[in-house]
Structure 1
């Protein structure tokens, strides 16, 4: 079956206080060790999970953590190992990177190794915001990394921006957008700052150390970004993502379209494309012990109920610009559910949605409050 492969490399030079992904600061030898463990896990998993081994391969994604901390030769060995699933040289291969972690030589080596898409976590061009986010790079390092990546042969570069930080003004955000556009990325991922419970930011919010922006003002910044990037030729194709023509993220669309993906590394998740999901242990010592002993690192495995599959089917499609197609909904879930969903959609405020006989999609205003919209829909369908 067609499958995407995700490899989780969990190490970062610093632990950003807003991030709730599984990550650690590396000690000496940790980068080499985790690379070898992922190689072992991948080979063993493809024996245990033969349906994932048959291919064809859709995409490869190195996430983290900060995969760009790893020497290019480690990334190349991992990518070569993924060839057991399919031809890595004919698909999108993304590496997440932080500005300031890659020299021109390293970028050239990564490009030669087969990495053809770079996802840069620049987050902001504001010194104030970078300090608040505890980032260890500067705006100049972001610009230099983009320039070097282009010189190294990267023709597909994505850049991340975060908005909604405490004290952020419209002028500060406009400057972030302007500086981003000056870098001419092919793809942009836009994130509204979230205060996750188990992160320092979540604790500081509870303690009153941080004061979040008003939600109405965050909505204004989101819609400002939509208008500006669309005007500059970027398609707002998913709630958090913009792309120039031909540069939509292949790998992320696997998640949004409910296709199978195999996750390798500590905390990585996998999905068979139907109902079965499984997740690796989110603990480095336990992960190492299991993989070294030839045991599965999977900590949890479950099947989504039909109701859970229905709700997820709705949610991932409403994330996308295309929305939900009536014929697809009718053929997949039956006439009763399709009619119920269309009735619930029509009852939503007009400015949040577009509903015709053939399609139901959210507007940018609807995307910003997508969680509330989904709760409303689930109660009625």
Structure 2
């Protein structure tokens, strides 16, 4: 396995780090309080090409492989998770489906605007009755002439209020179960498409999640993504790739928490010495560092496998599970290390603690990842 980064990726990684540390971090508390990412930050992100990480160069993107993307996600994860989610949701599950499954016409039509950030992408699978049980979709799509008529409601859709292009899953044949689900490219201006209520959240402020309401929404037949009936398979592929990126973002956030904690434990004194001299504190930061390093190695191994074209269903589920759990454990220890200050909302530790919690839920709960892992193990060890 070769995790070496090409010179151009190393240069871009440094540029992203500088941008995150000097520009995004400077407005992190504003994002938290106003629940909005400043337009200036979004515009600067576009200029840096951050919206085109997953999109091939021929369509105006950077065409970066998974190892390179994870290197950049690690830097992006080291700041406000609302901003991280806007970028990650777009460059991950928001656009990967069109890149991987779209035909030439679809790619030419949609990818250039997605690469520049002129259009934002989102992924719409979850419904009130279909979250972990993704096959229980109630949204339907019926072919009428040269259009599909889609009816249904999606919820908890990341980037819903900002997005222009949605990958939407709907049932085209209810008699076939999972094989009756089809994925569609849906534009926000299609007749019958509406963004519903914004859902207030415990964390991830600045990243808007909302309902999508499709009422006799007319979608051209040529906007079927992949083949009819392959939507569930498509969703699994899109989510598997996205999980490696999510782990890298969790890695960046975890490393940021360790950086903040190490500065604090060397400056804060109790009983006449820096608190890192107390064994209980020393053990906590040591445990944080060990888990972060293990997550780093695992993240880049799975990213390398993805770049090599290997099947990563099991490994991506393992990585999503482990990365989410590590981030939550690191955040919990960071609060404990900081004591009362870690619980105060004027400091970033409390924010990271709240933001970490959703990582065990979205893009597949920790329990669902365990089910996927067990299913793959049963295949490998079948008697």
Report TM bin, short chain: under 0.3
TM-score when scaled to structure 1?
Answer: 0.28
